């Protein structure tokens, strides 16, 4: 009985989605969402803010979180609560929809024939979506049927890549034509080039930022106490007046770390903090296989790679688009002792690991336009109807 009800619900959803194709769309109206409607963050957030400050486009954020609605409205911008008549009405009329993760960032049931722009949430180092064989069987009959059905109402979808090198990768990862890939850059990096710097989260503190990528979409926990010698690290950081700030991937947001004994090691994974602001105020970045280091290249600061589980990660979690060594300009640490020495190098000697190679890698990952602010360029393309013409 439960399966029958679920099937009826799915059928009804598709009927509604197809019916919304009949709605007239206003291309001066754009709805924005991110991370399954649960966060005000990422590329969508930055483009939304830039759009909201313009007079030639109406921007509305859709979210499941009432506190986010209140926050955005206090900023003087428009926001609607997911599932309300107000939210559904604006999504039914919007000509454009901007997302950072996937169509479930918004109530896509009401977006039939809208032009959807997926900014994605980083430059992919590891294989994503259709290229990620570990996620699901993308070529199963059920998946193929779903994809073909959704493509009819939601096929006007475009993806923004950061360089020509990524155009064929995006074509494969998202199974789209070349003309559906826009080569530009990430709006979330615009904040790096703004003369008015945002208010820091840790004013007056020297911080090193640790941002590991997710393990198996968060199903495999990241235990900080197992990969760091916390007592040794705390003693050293305290003596140098430095802090290690840990921000795991969103998929690990429910993990709790017991770090009360270590005041200089701070886990903010569960807090709604803008990663781009953290990168601006950090002295150096530690990561592994996360594309955050590609954003960090634009800041030209030290990057350390803590790849303690490299072999396991490739065999059990994700494949990569590139040879890891070729695109990671910095020291690699396979264990904590190696990482500790590199942290000491950064703090004590200004050890700028990989500096000579960073420019080469930056030019691989970013086209010329992508190495500066891109948000208003993209918004101009939307306002001038340069995106979506091939679908008219």
The kind and range of the H/E element at 71 are helix 66-74
Asked if residues 137 and 147 have their Cβ atoms less than 8 Å apart, the reply is: no
Predicted TM-score of the model (pTM): 0.85
- CATH 3.40.50.11820 range(s) for the chain read 2-190+373-391
Rounded to a whole number, what is the distance in angstroms from the first to the last CA of the chain?
43
Q: CATH number of the domain at 2-190+373-391, out of 3.20.20.10, 3.40.50.300, 3.40.50.11820, 3.30.310.10?
A: 3.40.50.11820
Quick one: which of 162, 168, 172, 163 has its CA closest to 129?
172
d(CA 156, CA 184): 18
The kind and range of the H/E element at 278 are helix 275-281
Crossing angle of the two packed helices 141-154 and 2-19, in degrees rounded to 10: 30
Structural tokens at position 357: 């190679």
Task: Count CB neighbours of 94 within 10 A.
Answer: 28
Asked if residues 221 and 257 have their Cβ atoms less than 8 Å apart, the reply is: no
Structural tokens at position 309: 């589980």
The pLDDT score that the predictor gives to residue 127 is 87
CA distances from 67 to 78, 79, 288, 321, 384 (A): 13, 11, 33, 38, 34
The pLDDT score that the predictor gives to residue 273 is 84
CATH topology of domain 206-369: Rossmann fold (3.40.50)
- CATH 3.40.50.12580 range(s) for the chain read 206-369
The pLDDT score that the predictor gives to residue 136 is 82
The pLDDT score that the predictor gives to residue 313 is 80
User: What are residue 341's phi and psi, to 5 degrees?
Assistant: -65, -35
Segments of the chain scoring below 70 in pLDDT: 1-4, 316-317, 351-354, 389-392
């Amino acid at each position: 009985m439960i399966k029958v009800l679920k099937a009826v619900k799915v059928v009804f959803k598709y009927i509604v989605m197809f019916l919304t194709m009949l709605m007239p769309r206003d291309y001066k109206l754009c709805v924005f969402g991110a991370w399954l409607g649960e966060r005000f963050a990422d590329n969508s957030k930055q483009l939304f803010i830039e759009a909201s400050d313009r007079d030639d486009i109406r921007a509305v954020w859709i979210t499941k979180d009432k506190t986010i609605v209140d926050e955005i409205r206090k900023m003087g911008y428009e926001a609607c609560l997911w599932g309300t008549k107000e939210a559904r009405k604006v999504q039914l009329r919007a000509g454009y929809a901007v997302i950072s993760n996937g169509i479930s960032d918004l109530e896509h049931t009401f977006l039939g024939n809208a032009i959807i722009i997926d900014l994605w949430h980083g430059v992919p180092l590891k294989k994503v979506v259709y290229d990620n064989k570990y996620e699901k069987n993308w070529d199963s009959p059920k998946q193929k049927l779903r994809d073909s059905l959704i493509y009819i109402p939601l096929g006007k979808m475009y993806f923004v890549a950061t360089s020509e090198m990524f155009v064929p990768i995006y074509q494969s990862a998202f199974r789209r034509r070349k003309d559906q890939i826009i080569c530009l850059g990430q709006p979330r990096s615009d904040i790096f080039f703004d003369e008015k710097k945002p208010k820091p989260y840790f004013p007056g503190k020297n911080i090193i930022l640790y941002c590991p990528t997710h393990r198996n979409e968060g199903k495999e926990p990241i235990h900080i106490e197992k990969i760091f010698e916390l007592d040794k690290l705390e003693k050293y950081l305290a003596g140098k007046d430095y802090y290690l700030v840990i921000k795991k991937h969103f998929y690990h947001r429910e993990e709790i770390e017991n770090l009360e004994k270590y005041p200089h090691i701070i886990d903010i994974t569960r807090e709604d903090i803008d990663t781009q602001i953290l990168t601006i105020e950090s002295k150096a970045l530690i990561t592994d296989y996360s594309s955050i280091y590609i954003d960090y290249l634009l800041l030209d600061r030290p990057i350390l790679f803590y790849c303690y589980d490299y072999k396991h990660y490739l065999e059990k979690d994700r494949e990569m688009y590139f040879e890891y060594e070729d695109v990671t300009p910095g020291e690699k640490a396979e264990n904590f002792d190696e990482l500790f020495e590199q942290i000491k190098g950064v703090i004590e000697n200004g050890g700028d690991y990989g500096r000579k190679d960073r420019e080469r890698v930056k030019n691989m990952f970013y086209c010329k336009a992508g190495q500066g602010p891109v948000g208003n360029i993209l918004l101009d393309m939307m306002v001038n109807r340069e995106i979506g013409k091939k679908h008219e």
